[in-house]
């Protein structure tokens, strides 16, 4: 599985000599964090913070370059593919299905790098937490384990902290709980939904508190993460970049 992810990524990256698009944007933001700047307060960004914070740590370990970017893509794809593979290794049939599913996922994630706007990096990174949340949710329902359900909510919050649109999957988790319990255990379903929500809210609050403690104010979070993206979806964001407090047009060294 890991070899399939690695080879497929290397194969695609062979054709992608210039990362461009979102990759350059994310890695430049990660470089700013590596240099000691704080997102939203010291530089403008309309994305959730976790990916660029992870990239800041990654740059601290391996540096910033085209090859560092490729290595990050390989690692995140392998982690996400493993999350697809892990639930089905209990028996031989499940193992074979998991291998096939993980390989297909790895190929899909790798081929996503051919997207002209280069959205693949955030989709694959967020999917690690999304898949983890789903695995823990299923385990929590089967074992009636509140701790697994709570951790599922925590991972769901981390997914949202990586990619705003992952919030849609939170509703999906609650729907799975309701369908699993059906009408015969509606009270239990409500309690389980509350546990997942508490996990999600707790982790989300910690992310917000961390940002506030590092000099970000609530208006900056609203203005860049929420307001801009609303205007963006409505096609009314023209001029917003220039009017924002501080742009992030500078590229990280090695990413131009």
- Model confidence pLDDT, tens digit, residues 198-210: 999 999 999 999 9
Residue 136 has pLDDT above 90, yes or no: no
Question: Other C-beta atoms within 10 Å of 255: how many?
Answer: 21
pLDDT at 202: 95
pLDDT at 248: 47
Residue 169 has pLDDT above 70, yes or no: yes
pLDDT at 159: 92
CA 212 to chain centre: 21
Residue 167 has pLDDT above 80, yes or no: yes
Q: Grade residue 10 by pLDDT with cuts at 50, 70 and 90.
A: low
| Angle (CA) 122 77 168, round 5° | 40
What is the average per-residue pLDDT within 216-245? Answer: 69
- Of 79-93, 115-129, 140-154, least confident by mean pLDDT is 79-93
Cβ 67 vs Cβ 138: under 8 Å: no
% of residues, the chain, pLDDT over 90:
17
Residue 16 has pLDDT above 60, yes or no: no
- Beta partners for 39? 43
pTM (2 decimals)? 0.79
For 209, what's the count of Cα atoms within 13 Å in the CB-facing half-sphere?
A: 6
DSSP 41-80: TTB---S-HHHHHHHHHHHHHH-SSHHHHHHHHHHHHHHH
For 48, what's the count of Cα atoms within 13 Å in the CB-facing half-sphere?
A: 20
pLDDT: which is higher, 243 or 214: 214
pLDDT: which is higher, 19 or 168: 168
What is the average per-residue pLDDT within 205-234? Answer: 85
Nearest of 166, 233, 175 to residue 203 by alpha carbon: 166
pLDDT at 227: 82
């Amino acid at each position: 599985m890991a070899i399939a992810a690695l080879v497929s990524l290397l194969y695609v990256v062979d054709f992608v000599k210039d990362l461009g698009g979102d990759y350059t944007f994310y890695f430049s933001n990660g470089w700013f964090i590596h240099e000691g700047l704080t997102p939203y307060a010291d530089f403008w960004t309309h994305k959730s913070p976790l990916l660029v914070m992870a990239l800041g740590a990654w740059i601290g370990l391996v540096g910033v370059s085209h090859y560092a970017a490729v290595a990050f893509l390989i690692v995140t794809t392998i982690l996400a593919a493993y999350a697809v593979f892990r639930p089905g290794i209990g028996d031989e049939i499940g193992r074979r299905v998991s291998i096939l599913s993980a390989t297909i996922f790895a190929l899909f994630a790798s081929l996503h790098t051919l997207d002209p706007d280069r959205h693949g990096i955030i989709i694959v990174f967020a999917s690690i937490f999304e898949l983890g949340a789903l695995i823990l949710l299923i385990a929590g329902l089967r074992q009636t384990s509140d701790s697994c359900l709570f951790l599922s909510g925590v991972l769901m919050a981390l997914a949202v902290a990586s990619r705003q649109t992952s919030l849609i999957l939170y509703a999906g988790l609650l729907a799975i709980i309701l369908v699993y319990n059906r009408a015969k255990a509606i009270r239990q379903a409500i309690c389980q939904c509350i546990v997942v929500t508490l996990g999600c809210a707790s982790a989300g609050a910690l992310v917000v508190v961390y940002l506030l403690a590092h000099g970000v104010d609530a208006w900056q979070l609203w203005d860049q993460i929420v307001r801009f993206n609303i205007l963006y979806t409505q096609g009314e964001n023209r001029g917003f970049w220039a009017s924002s407090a501080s742009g992030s047009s500078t590229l990280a060294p090695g990413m131009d």
